[in-house]
Amino acid sequence: MRITITGRNIDLTQGLKDAVEEKLSKLEKYFKPDTDVYVTLSVEKERQKIEVTIPTKGHVIRSEQVSSDMYVSIDLVEEVIERQLRKYRTKLSSKKIAAAELFAPEFLEADDPEDDEEVKIVRTKRFGMKPMYPEDACIQMELTGHDFFVFRNAETDEVNVVYKRKGNTYGLIEPEF
């Protein structure tokens, strides 16, 4: 794996780089050697944050962990990604054409009891979508108490999603065609 480490508001010491590479090297058994892994370490006040992004064909494997100690965050992020990969192994192997290009064959063919976990949709909700502006959708989202809100954008007449981000900010998801 090719690991690219960048830092924001942090001095990237050799010890930090070694810790990241050592922890993420445990993921090598899942990927082919030419897989790119992007790591961003950052410090905001007392929060030590690590973001790991692994772009794959058609998907992105990503985890972000925050703690008061960067080494704890590094440990946590590796565990989360490994859990995600094991959980979705059956779905990855059922789409072998795309998966074979990125993942190690041993990983896709391995038999693991955790693979039995299925994604279960337990509720379907239908609702009318009247056109509204993104700012109005944010207000509606706050009124419903949800972390996201689906609406028809009055400006573009397309289905959009607004969502709550950390730091009391909002995000807007627009479809790309």
| Least confident residue range of 15-24, 64-73, 118-127, 138-147 | 118-127
- Give residue 85's pLDDT: 80
The β-bridge partners of 162 are 149, 172
Whether the predicted pLDDT of 98 surpasses 60: no
Instruction: Report, as an integer, the average pLDDT of 34-58.
Output: 88
| 29 HSE (CA, 13 A, CB side) | 11
What average pLDDT does the structure give for the chain? 83
Instruction: Report, as an integer, the average pLDDT of 159-174.
Output: 92
Percent of the chain with pLDDT over 90: 43
Closest residue by Cα to residue 2 from 30, 23, 33, 26: 33
State the amino acid at position 172 in one-letter form. Answer: L
Task: Indicate the pLDDT class of residue 97, thresholds 50, 70 and 90.
Answer: very low
DSSP assigned state of 10: S
Phi-psi region of 87 (alpha: psi -120 to 50; beta: other; left: phi over 0): alpha
Sheet holding 59-67, edge to edge: 2-8, 36-44, 47-56, 59-67
Tokens of 116: 């039995």
Whether the predicted pLDDT of 109 surpasses 80: no
What is the pTM assigned to this prediction?
0.60
Whether the predicted pLDDT of 83 surpasses 80: yes
